[in-house]
Chains A and B, each alone.
Chain A
Amino acid sequence: MTEVKPATIVLDGQEVAIEEGETLLELAARRGVEIPTLCHDPRLVPAGACRTCLVEIEGWRRLAPSCTTVAADGMVVRSANERIERHRKTLMALYLTDHPAPGEIAPHIVDGSEVHRMAVECGAPDDWPRMAPIRVGREDHNAFIQFEPERCILCARCVRYCAEVEAVSAITLADRGSRTTIATADDLSLMEASCELCGGCIDVCPTDALTEKLALALPAPIPDKLERVRTTCNYCGVGCQMDLEVEREANEGRGRVRRVLSPPAGTTTNDGNLCVKGRFAYQFIEHEDRLTKPMVRREDGLLHETSWAEALETAARGLLGVKARHGSDALGFVSSSRCTGEENYLMQKLARAAFGTNNCHQCAAT
C-alpha cells in the first residue's frame, strides 16, 4: 500500500497539516496565529463581510477572507505582510469615519467598540474626516434591547444569530448601500415582532450598537471595579452557564448585578446561548421581596426569620397534620421547573415515600 501524503498548507512559512474542511481562520487559530475578525462567530455560517480577516494566498490575485476560505492542499498563505498591514490600517481608518468616536459611546456599557480597539491595534490613522450619521434610531418600547444604528458596522452577526442559532429571524438587514441598517419588518418594536428577547444579538454584537437597556438606566460604572462572575442560571434544569457582570461596592456595599453576559461560544455546554429569563430576569437577585433566609409565620400572622431546623420542622408538622386529618391524597406536591432533574426526582420521592401520595407535579410538565 502506498502512503497517502497528508494534505498540508504553508502558513507564514510553516507547513501545517489540514484538518478536513477547516477554514484558514480555524487552522490559523489552531496554530496560535491571530487574525483579526469582526463578522466571525464560530456558531454562524461565515459571511466574509467585514473584510478584517483577509490573508494572502499565493497565486490568488486578490486577498481572501480567511473566515470563508477552506484550506486546500498546497496553499501557500500569509497572514501578515506589508500588503495585509496596509489593508487593515486603511480599512480600519474607513470604519472610523463611519463610527462614533470613543467618547461618544454610552459610558454605561464599558465593552466599547471592537472597532476602536482594532483600529488602535493596527495603527490606523484616526484623523480622517468623520461622516455624519445617516442611519437614525427608532423608539422601541421593549424593556431590554437598545439599538443605536449609527454605531452599527453591519457585520450582520445579530441577524445571522437570530436566524441560524435562535431560528427566530426577527431582524434583518434592511435598505441598502450606505443606508443599510438592521430592522424588524416595518420597523416594528421587537415586542410586536417574532423576537423572543433572548438577547443573543446583544451578545454577538462587536460594537455597542446593541446593548442592554436595563444597564443603561443604572449609574455609570467604574470600569476597573467591574467583575465577571461565572454562575449557573437557576431558572431551569438545563443549567446554562452565564457570567454576571457585578459591581461589588455598589448599593452601599450590597453589590449589584449590572448585566448577564454570555460565556464565549464553544466554552460551555450552552455554547454561550441564553433565553430571556436567564439573560434579563435577574432583578430578583436584589429585589426587596426576595427571601434570603428561612422564615416561619408565627401566631401574629407575620413571617419571622428563623433557623433552617425550625423552618423544616414547621413545614413537616403542617404536612403531617393534613395527612392525619384528611389522608395522604389531600396533599399535593408541585415542583418548579427551576429545579434540576435530581431535585425533581427527590420531590416525587418525598411525595410517594414520605407522604404516600402520587399527587406530584412539575410546573413545566404542562
Chain B
Amino acid sequence: MTRKKRPDIAAALQQAGGLREGASRQVAKDSGVPEAHVYGVGSFFHLLAEPDVELRVCTGLTCQLAGADALLVAARAQGIEAVGCSCLAACDAPVPLLRGREVLPAMTLDDVRGVALEALRSPAGEHWQRAVGPELELDASASRLLHAPSYEGASFAKARALGPQGVIDLIARSGLQGRGGAGFPAGIKWRSVAAQAEMQRYVVLNADEGEPGTFKDREVMLRRPDAVLEGLAIAALTVGAKEVYLYLRGEFDRPWRAMSDAIAEFERRGTFGEIAFHMHAGHGAYICGEETALIEALEGKRGMPRIKPPYPTEKGLWGKPTLVHNVETIGCVPAILERGAEWFEALGRTGAGTKLYCVSGHVVRPGTYELPLGATLDELVEAAGGYTVGLKAFSPGGASSGFLPAAERGRPLDFKALAEVGSMLGSAGVVVLGEGVDMAWAARQQLLFFEEESCGQCAPCRIGTRFVRERLDAYIAARDGGDAAAMASALSQVADVAWEMDEGSICGLGMTAPLPLTSAMRHFPSDFPGSSTGDFPGSAKLG
C-alpha cells in the first residue's frame, strides 16, 4: 500500500513563525491537511509550540554541572524570554544557548549577565568544532571520521565495481554494528532491505542526536560531511534506493550548513549519479531520534514511535523498505570499502572497529575521542586529559544507560560488557561525575529529561516518567527535611513502575527512562538513606 505523501507542515509552521494563533488554519488551507492535525504536529515540537521563547538554555545534566541554572536566571533578569531545554549535543562546550535556531556554545555566566539578546556572542566563535583525539594525523589505526574531508568518491566507485552482494558481504564481515544506540549488525539490515519484494526503497540518515551526553554525530558532520554522504550513497546504491533523506535535529544549524554545502559539492561533481539527497530539519523533539518516530516526523506527523514489528527494513518511510542509520555508522562505510572488512574489524578490542566516544562532565578536555571499541573509562578520560576531581560515578552511554559506580572504570565500554551490568553502550555519550555529586540529584536531572521528551503515546511511559520523578521529588524533600517516615515510603513503588515501564512501553525511551534512578539507588545506596523499594507482591528487587 502506498501512503499518500503529506506536505511538510512542520516546515510550513516554522515559516509561519511557529504555532501562533491562526497559523494552523493558514497552513491547513495551503496544504490540505486538516487544521487539527496541523495543530497536533505543531504542538508536539517545542521549537514550534513555543513561538514566544527567545532563548533556550541547556539544562541537561552536564550543563547543570557547569552552572546552567545561573545562566538561565541571568538571561531572565535581562528581560529575555528564556526557558531551559534538553541536551543540545554540545556537552563538550557547556553551557550552550539556543537563540532562535542558532546555537551559542560554551557560554559562561559572564557572557550572559547584563547582555541583551542580540548582543549575546559565543566565545567559541562561528565554528564549533571541539576537542577530538587522541591522534589527529591520518594514521592507519583510525576510521578517519575526525580527519580532513575528501570529495573524490573513490569508495563509491569501488562499491559500484563490487556490486550490491559484494558490498553487503563486506559490511557484514566488517562486524560493523549500529552506533545510534542499539548496536544492531549493519550487514543484517542492509541484506534485509535489499531482499524486500517492494522495489521502492529509501535510505534515511538519523542525525537527530539528542541523547544527553552525546555529540559525536555533530562533530562528524562538521568535519567529515563527505564521508557521511558517501556512506549514504553507497548504502543507497547497495539496497537499491534513489532517494536519501537526512533528518537533522532543528538545533543543528552549523552541521546543517556543513551537510548542505557538501551535498552541493558532490552534486557539482556529479559523483553519485542520480541518487538524490533531501534534507529535513527536526523541530525540538528527542524522541524523533527513535527511528520509527523519525519516519513519522518525515511523513509530516507527530513524532510518535510505531509499534514494532514491522521494522523499517520492511515497512518504513511511506510504508516502503527503509534503511535507517546513525551518522557515525554510515560514516564508517567509505573507510570499510577503502581498506577492507578485516582492517575495520581489527581496529576494535572487544568488538569491531574504533568507536567515537563522547566524554563530558568532570574531565579536563571534554570532547570526541576515537578509541578501539572496548576501551575503558580510564583510557578515555586519559585521552581527555584526566579527571578534574575524584571519580564517583559515570554514565557510559547517555541518560538511557543509567549510572555506574567508579568500580566499573576498568570495564570495556562495549555493547556486551555494559549490558552485563544492566547498562548499555548506547550512543557512547559518557558523562563523568566527580565526588560530591548527589546521585539523587543527578538521577532527577535525567528523569526530568525523559518526562519532558516522552511522546506521551503509551501509558507506562507517559504516566510512569512523571510518577517516578514525582516520587523522587517527594523522597528528596523528605530526606532534606529529615522526615523518616516519608523517606521510607516515597520510593516504594519505583521498582514496580520501572519493571512495568520496561515490560509495557512501546519504545526504548519508556523502557529505559527509570534506569537513572534505579541504577543510582542500586549503586549509591548512601545517597538514598532510609528508602525502601517496596513490597508489592512480586516486587522487582533493585539489587
Q: Which residues of A contact B (CB under 8 A)?
A: 48-51, 54, 62-63, 65, 68, 82-83, 86-87, 90-91, 93-95, 97-98, 125, 128-129, 131, 153-154, 163, 168-180, 183-186, 193-194
Contact = CB atoms under 8 A, between A and B. Distances in A.
Nearest to B22: A186
A87 B500 CA distance: 6
A175 B451 CA distance: 13
5 contacts: A49-B459, A95-B459, A98-B463, A131-B470, A176-B44
Given A48-B506, A176-B285, 15 more contacts: A49-B459, A51-B460, A54-B503, A86-B499, A91-B500, A93-B496, A94-B460, A154-B456, A169-B36, A173-B456, A176-B287, A177-B462, A177-B466, A178-B451, A184-B36
Given A87-B504, A90-B497, A186-B39, A177 B454 contact: yes
B186 to A, nearest CB: 21
B43 interface: yes
A178 B454 contact: yes
Contacts of A176: 43-44, 285, 287, 302, 454-456
B307 interface: yes
B456 A51 contact: no
Contacts of A128: 493
Q: Which of under 10, 10 to 19, 20 to 34, or 35 or more describes the interface residues of B?
A: 35 or more
Contact of A65 (B285, B307, B497, B538): B307
Contacts of A94: 459-460, 463-464, 467, 497, 500
B40 interface: yes
A177 B451 contact: yes
B34 interface: yes
A41 B39 CA distance: 25
Given A94-B463, A94-B464, A98-B463, A169 B456 contact: no
Contact of B40 (A51, A83, A172): A172
B459 A97 contact: no
Contacts of A185: 24-25, 28, 35-36, 38-39
B465 A178 contact: yes
B21 A186 contact: yes
A179 B36 contact: no
A154 B39 CA distance: 17
A179 B44 CA distance: 10
Interface string B344-384: 00000000000000000000000000000000000000000
Contact of B456 (A50, A91, A178): A178
Contacts of B504: 51, 54, 63, 87, 90-91
A172 B36 contact: yes
B462 A178 contact: yes
Contacts of B28: 185
B465 A90 contact: no
Contacts of A63: 503-504
Contacts of B471: 129
A49 B306 CA distance: 10
B302 A173 contact: yes
B285 to A, nearest CB: 7
B80 interface: no
A90 B496 contact: yes
A170 B39 CA distance: 11
B139 to A, nearest CB: 41
Contacts of B456: 154, 173, 175-180
A177 to B, nearest CB: 4
A265 to B, nearest CB: 22
B7 to A, nearest CB: 16
Given A87-B504, A186-B24, A51 B459 contact: yes
A136 to B, nearest CB: 15
Given A176-B455, A186-B21, A129 B34 contact: no
Contacts of B457: 49, 154, 173, 180
A154 B38 CA distance: 18
B499 A49 contact: no
Interface string B22-63: 101100100000111111100110000100000000000000
Interface of B: 21-22, 24-25, 28, 34-40, 43-44, 49, 285, 287, 302, 307, 451-460, 462-467, 470-471, 474, 493, 496-497, 499-500, 503-506, 536, 538
Nearest to B23: A186
B286 to A, nearest CB: 10
A18 to B, nearest CB: 17
B536 A125 contact: yes
A170 B460 CA distance: 27
A178 B497 CA distance: 16
A83 B28 CA distance: 46
Contacts of A125: 536
A114 to B, nearest CB: 13
A51 B37 CA distance: 24
Nearest to A83: B503
Given A170-B36, A185-B39, A82 B538 contact: yes
Contact of A193 (B36, B287, B459, B496): B36
A295 to B, nearest CB: 47
B466 A131 contact: yes
A184 B39 CA distance: 8
A94 B44 CA distance: 24
Contact of A194 (B22, B36, B38, B464): B36
B92 to A, nearest CB: 27
> Which residue, A87, A98, A173, has most C-beta atoms of chain B within 10 A?
A173
A178 B466 contact: yes
A98 B462 CA distance: 10
Contact of A172 (B21, B39, B452, B460): B39
A227 B35 CA distance: 40
Given A65-B307, A68-B307, A90-B497, A183 B39 contact: yes
B43 A50 contact: no
Nearest to B474: A129
Contacts of B44: 174-176
> Which residue, A49, A65, A129, A186, has most C-beta atoms of chain B within 10 A?
A186
A90 to B, nearest CB: 4
Nearest to B307: A48
A174 B466 CA distance: 18
> Which residue, A54, A178, A179, A184, has most C-beta atoms of chain B within 10 A?
A178
B455 A177 contact: yes
A232 to B, nearest CB: 32
> Which residue, A82, A83, A86, A95, has most C-beta atoms of chain B within 10 A?
A86
Contacts of B462: 154, 177-178, 180
Nearest 5 interchain pairs by C-beta? A180-B456, A172-B40, A169-B34, A185-B39, A90-B500
A14 to B, nearest CB: 24
A7 to B, nearest CB: 18
A186 B44 CA distance: 13
Contacts of A153: 459
A62 B505 CA distance: 10
B465 A169 contact: no
Contacts of B34: 163, 168-170, 194
B270 to A, nearest CB: 42
A160 B496 CA distance: 31
A174 B40 contact: yes
B538 A86 contact: yes
A129 B474 CA distance: 11
A184 B504 CA distance: 29
Contacts of A68: 307
